[in-house]
Amino acid sequence: MSEEVAANNADVAENEDVQAEEHRIPQPDKITNKDLMKSWFRWWWANEVPHTFDRMLAPAFCFGLIPNLKKLYKDKTELAKAFQRHLLFFNTQATWGGGTLTGVTLSLEEARAKALANGEEPISEDMINNTKVGLMGPLAGIGDSIDSGTVQYIFIAIFLPFAQKGNFMGALLPFLCFAIATFTYGYYFTKMGYSLGRAAAKEIMTGGRMAGIIDGLGVLGLYMMGILAGQYIKIQSYLKFSISKKVFDVQDILNTILPGILPLFAVLMLYWYFQKKGLKITRGLVYLTIALVVLSIFYVI
């Protein structure tokens, strides 16, 4: 009798081992630079295409991750969970936020997939989601101010003379160069995010080298805005008056004090308005137009 019980126990143990073997999660494939480029390109190309109110950019983010998630999770259940967690609300700037978080997320997902395959305690799904949610806002703020507020205006300032001469390349090249530049350093952020994991965001926001780059771009952007204001904003005074039969030209007097002082004054007034009332661009331009019309009626400008 004892021999039969022992034999039955051996059969049960063998069946359990077979079932465990059948349900063992396969090891994930290695993520290569080519894989990172694929995810970055898919996100960069589609980040504004499936824009929704409830999920914002999450469908595009998931679309970018799909090829690599399939490499990491060979188990259909875990793959489905990965798809679901990356379809939750997500919204950030395309390059600084999207690039960095693409790399960071793949790094975390790879660590989770390896732990599951090895039977170890994996990174929790909440941790992956919380990392994305916690970083998407700060990275978006940096990206918007640098890309939209500095980099694109640098290219516009460089190629504006072409447009003034009627060359269509003056309208095309700023957008082309902006797209190439953002795509290039966005891929760099993707690789950095994958290599450094969650520390990548800290490197971007507080790292010495990256902080220096951001400060340098900010200074360069200010120079470019000054050049645009001085060279391409044409405001001058036609007011003249005479004292003891000597005619004084107000514009000549202003030029001796500071050439371009009227365009500078107009830019500073707009800046002051935006600081006080918020970035209400259309209303600010309407007020500026009315002011210029009134001043021109009295030949002040």
Reported as a single tens digit per residue, the pLDDT across 154-170 is 888 888 888 888 888 88
Q: Mean pLDDT, to the nearest integer, of 199-210?
A: 54
Q: How confident is the model at residue 12 (pLDDT cuts 50, 70, 90)?
A: very low
Residue 222 clears pLDDT 80, i.e. is over it: no
- State which amino acid sits at residue 277: K
Q: Mean pLDDT, to the nearest integer, of 202-229?
A: 59
Q: Mean pLDDT, to the nearest integer, of 70-97?
A: 91
Residue 81 clears pLDDT 60, i.e. is over it: yes
Is the pTM higher than 0.75? no
For the segment 175-184, what is each residue's pLDDT rounded down to a tens digit?
Answer: 999 999 999 9
- State which amino acid sits at residue 41: F
Cα–Cα distance, 195 to 217 (Å, whole number): 25
Residue 13 clears pLDDT 50, i.e. is over it: no
- Check if the beta carbon of residue 82 is closer than 8 Å to that of residue 129: no
Bigger pLDDT: 208 vs 25? 25
Question: What is the signed CA dihedral for 204, 205, 206, 207, rounded to 10 degrees?
Answer: 10
Predicted local confidence at residue 300, as pLDDT: 66
For the segment 92-127, what is each residue's pLDDT rounded down to a tens digit?
Answer: 899 998 999 999 999 889 988 988 888 888 888 888
Predicted local confidence at residue 278, as pLDDT: 80
Residue 185 clears pLDDT 50, i.e. is over it: yes
* Averaged confidence pLDDT in the chain: 80
Tell me the C-alpha to C-alpha distance, in Å, between residue 95 and each of 45, 152, 188.
11, 13, 10
Cα–Cα distance, 164 to 154 (Å, whole number): 16
